[in-house]
Structure 1
């Protein structure tokens, strides 16, 4: 176990979800025990996920079936972060054609953003993950971007951990659209600073006192390191132990999973 962070100084914890809390519909060990300990030691926490497919209520329902207790205020998804960013960018309103699922659609609508089904009428094309996307929708998005619509992505994760293994993620869809249009998207989710900053603002904490826990180096860990946050990598998802260890800026902690993170907190606090 690599260890450099002083967990005694950590007052808040951000946890990725896919590959950290669960893989597909299968829960990973130690989640509720860790959350209980954080609450008992007066540490705040937030699930921060690049998965844009679900609404906060749907995330809460999913983890409840796994015996994990949380409310909607404990969820920050890339869909919510993207919708908030668009509302700030376009205070007078904007028309969006989206590739995505309920989580993205509802996040946009809750920010008062007009979601259109006529791609040529859109000011912005937004792509998140869509597990049933059709070619024609991708073609419509491509033509609109080529005609001048702004191109925005919820996150750049090229793969997505599932029970079957790693399947195409949002980044794969963005790569397809970029290849077809020659336009590079503006990406909002991790590893970009905005999503981490939204999370810390929500918890009222600083970077130095906020631990980021993730399974993917290039999004969860690299983005947090850039902001000066302590980091804990778990080996239950995408990135291998060797890749974490040999990274130019490795995480402070490399752990098999959340039970070991709980042990590390207990040891630090003792």
Structure 2
């Protein structure tokens, strides 16, 4: 199936972009799987990237798991991805903060155990008292209570630096789209009159960490995602070639009205594998 961009542009240019790719960054929710359901062609694409000497890394705004537990989830779907090939927004946020804040800074957090572990691993002092916190880090939290929202609000209003793992308003599940980190962040921003500093996609911090891991420059690093406003927009801003897949959030109809468009708009990963094989032939 032709993509919207290829129909409007020069197919030869897109083939050449794929030929130059030395590394591929893949979003996870909506690209590798939806909920606990694996999407077609994942292992075949990863195997082909290995065979052709290309680096690859799974890069997700989902902060609810560690790299290890993401790897275990994928293994349960017969997709083999070692933990070192996964960068989640919890780890990315802790890495970013370690470069931004003083060692051992006092952090109050709203999030899952994965975020707590990532912050502790970087030496931050985790506190519960909102009036002791120097930094307030917020993310998805499935056990969220009003009291936790109140503590985060008090910390931020008391001057704590407000940092969020990602802006995704929804989280794709097998039941459909449910509230994501961005929706919770909007509540805190409304309650504090403070906008957070974001680390995850589309902001540069996560993309730059990912490219350091795979050792490539933007023009040779392909981003594959399903959510235009995070996966694709952030990559385009950095000069990366992009693939929008239709297995997740953004629909073909939405892509028809969006500018700038990804270099490729494909049904899913089997179609991307076919494009790589054509480019390499």
Q: What TM-score do the two structures reach when normalised by structure 2?
A: 0.94
CA contact (8 A) 2:202 2:234 kept: yes
Residue 148 in 1 paired to residue 178 in 2?
no
Residue 214 in 1 paired to residue 225 in 2?
yes
Residue 175 in 1 paired to residue 189 in 2?
no
1:257 CA drift (Å): 0.6
1:117 CA drift (Å): 1.9
CA contact (8 A) 2:103 2:123 kept: no
5+ long unaligned stretches in structure 2: none
2:98 equivalent in structure 1: 87
5+ long unaligned stretches in structure 1: none
RMSD, aligned CA = 1.0
**Aligned ranges for residues 1-270 of structure 1 at < 5 Å?**
1-2=3-4, 3=6, 5=14, 6-270=17-281
The ranges of structure 1 where at least 4 consecutive aligned residues each deviate by more than 6 angstroms after the TM superposition are none
1:138 CA drift (Å): 0.5
Count of residues in Structure 1 that have an aligned counterpart in Structure 2 = 270
| Structure 2 counterpart SS, 1:129 | coil
1:232 CA drift (Å): 0.2
1:113 CA drift (Å): 1.0
1:120 CA drift (Å): 1.9
CA contact (8 A) 1:13 1:213 kept: yes
Moved more, 86-95 or 162-171: 86-95
Residues in 1 aligned to 2:247 and 2:69: alpha-carbon distance in whole angstroms: 22
Q: What TM-score do the two structures reach when normalised by structure 1?
A: 0.98
| Structure 1 counterpart SS, 2:131 | helix
Residues in 2 aligned to 1:45 and 1:18: alpha-carbon distance in whole angstroms: 16
1:36 CA drift (Å): 0.2
1:149 CA drift (Å): 1.1
1:68 CA drift (Å): 0.6
